[in-house]
Structure 1
Amino acid sequence: MNRSNGLPDDGYALIVDGQVKTEFKTRESAEAGARDLKRRFPVLQIRLYDAESRRAEEFA
């Protein structure tokens, strides 16, 4: 994990309402976690961060 911004150096992370919450090794597991959160809490803003490309995308 990069200490300056809290984002992982590898794998994937869920950014929930602007805060890094959970890290995952694979994209599939990150998407499954995001789907579960969105199902339980539909108003949350969830972004999926990819450490390899250093980009986050909105999860709808």
Structure 2
Amino acid sequence: MHSYPIYFRCYATEKIIRPTSMVTRNLLTEGWLRNTGRSDNNPHGFLIERWEIIDNHDLKVETR
């Protein structure tokens, strides 16, 4: 945390469950976090800026 705003990169796997299928996706995003005041609507006190989806492709699709 030596630089500000704080750069982040998120690697995730998401599962979308639909009535007819289940999709597993690879998700890669990045952006910058800036401190803001905490409030009831923003309890962590961060604002995400320049958020970008790098990759969001299907890994597996299963029919139900």
Structures share fold, TM-score greater than 0.5: no
Give TM-score scaled by structure 1 length.
0.34
Instruction: Tell me which protein shows more strand as a share of its residues.
Output: 2
Which has the higher Rg, Structure 1 or Structure 2?
Answer: 2
Instruction: Tell me which protein shows more helix as a share of its residues.
Output: 1
